């Protein structure tokens, strides 16, 4: 996968050089490039914003630098794919790259969307700041991208960079070879529509609190049943909304007895 991030604060994305995502980049499992939007300005002040038509507080990001930046990265994934592809590169990159615009007015990011986006050949993230990006950029971008405004949640950030850090980690860790043990992806919160069960490690007794005895029993059937029950209990307690969405049809026979 190829990821491009456009921002006026490229240094904000430095954490993507660290840890799991940083190693994936070093191992060639993920190609990620960060671009400074100001590179695509033409005036001596490298202006990226201006006052809003219709009045109001704050500034709006100008359209032309964004169009120049997005044109510059569009298809880079296909180009990379084509150069890397030994076979029919015509089929490589035939899909438009996905332009993800972090926005409080976007669809909610969740694990299902992370899995969906992890299948893409190229993701481009446009980090808006100020009061946002001129809406005409979003409309124009539909010619070159599949455009998806995405929200991390119902709260206000100062820009899209923090959202991109979260989304790139959530998506990048799903790519083949990134997480050491792929099995660890199976039992995570939200991987099956429920919250994950509680975990414990040594010592078995700590500050007069004991690890649940079933986990020390060696009875793997009972342990699995206890863990599944804990998933349902936790989800009902903390995220009843998820239970409402949970596909009861996916319940196994064992689930029905927890
Ligand atoms: N508030 C914001 C401002 C700018 C870019 C993204 C956001 C955002 C994303 N998810 C929630 O908020």
pLDDT of residue 198: 98
Coil, strand, or helix at residue 61? strand
Higher pLDDT, 150 or 75: 150
Percent of the chain topping pLDDT 90? 80
Q: How confident is the model at residue 84 (pLDDT cuts 50, 70, 90)?
A: very low
Residue in the structure block whose two tokens are 């409402």: 244
What does the alpha-carbon distance between residue 52 and residue 61 come to, in Å, rounded to a whole number? 9
Task: For residue 55, give both structure tokens.
Answer: 């009045």
Is the CB of residue 129 less than 8 Å from the CB of residue 166? no
Share of the chain above pLDDT 70, in %: 88
Please list the alpha-helical segments (H only) found in the chain. 19-26, 63-73, 76-84, 111-117, 135-141, 161-172, 220-238, 240-245
CA–CA distance, 61 with 42 (Å, rounded to integer): 15
**Do the Cβ atoms of 164 and 175 come closer than 8 Å?**
no
The answer, yes or no, to whether the previous bond of 43 is cis (omega within 30 of 0) is no
Q: Residue ranges per domain, the chain? A: 2-172, 187-257
Q: Which atom of ligand 1 is nearest to the CA of 132?
A: 4
Asked if pLDDT for residue 194 goes beyond 70, the answer is: yes
Task: Quote the pTM value.
Answer: 0.89
Ligand 1 centroid, distance to 208 Cα (angstroms): 44
Q: Tell me what the mean pLDDT of segment 2-7 comes to.
A: 98
Report the CATH superfamily, name and number, of domain 2-172. Answer: SPOUT methyltransferase, trefoil knot domain (3.40.1280.10)
Among 7, 151, 161, 167, name the best residue to mutate to test ligand 1's pocket (greatest count of ligand atoms within 8 A of Cβ).
151
CA 192, CA 112: separation in Å to the nearest integer? 10
2-172 and 187-257 agree in CATH topology: no
**Residue 77 pLDDT class (50, 70, 90 cuts):** low
DSSP 197: P
Q: Which atom of ligand 1 is nearest to the CA of 160?
A: 5
Considering only CA atoms, which residue is closest to atom 12 of ligand 1? 104
**How is domain 187-257 classified at the CATH fold level?**
1.10.1270
Residue 257 has pLDDT above 90, yes or no: no
Do 160 and 126 touch, CB atoms closer than 8 A?
yes
State the chain's mean pLDDT as an integer: 91
ipTM of the prediction: 0.98
């Amino acid at each position: 996968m190829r990821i491009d991030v456009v921002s006026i604060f490229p240094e904000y994305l430095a954490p993507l050089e660290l840890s799991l995502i940083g190693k994936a980049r070093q191992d060639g499992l993920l190609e990620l490039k960060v671009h400074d939007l100001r590179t695509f300005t033409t005036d001596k002040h490298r202006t990226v914003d201006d006052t809003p038509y219709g009045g109001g507080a704050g500034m709006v990001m100008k359209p032309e630098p964004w169009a120049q930046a997005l044109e510059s990265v569009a298809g880079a994934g296909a180009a990379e794919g084509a150069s890397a592809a030994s076979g029919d590169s015509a089929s490589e990159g035939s899909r438009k790259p996905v332009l993800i615009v972090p926005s409080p007015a976007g669809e909610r990011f969740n694990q299902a969307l992370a899995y969906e986006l992890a299948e893409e050949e190229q993701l481009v993230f446009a980090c808006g700041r100020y009061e946002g990006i001129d809406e005409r950029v979003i409309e124009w971008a539909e010619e070159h991208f599949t455009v998806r405004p995405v929200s991390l949640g119902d709260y206000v950030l100062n820009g899209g960079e923090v959202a991109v850090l979260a989304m790139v980690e959530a998506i990048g860790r799903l790519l083949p070879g990134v997480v050491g043990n792929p099995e660890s992806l199976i039992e995570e919160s939200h991987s099956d529509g429920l919250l994950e069960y509680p975990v414990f490690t040594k010592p078995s007794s700590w500050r007069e609190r004991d690890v649940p005895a079933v986990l020390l029993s060696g009875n793997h059937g009972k342990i699995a049943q206890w863990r599944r029950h804990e998933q349902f209990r936790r989800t009902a307690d903390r995220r009843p909304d998820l239970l409402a969405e949970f596909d009861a049809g996916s319940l196994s026979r064992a689930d029905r007895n927890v």
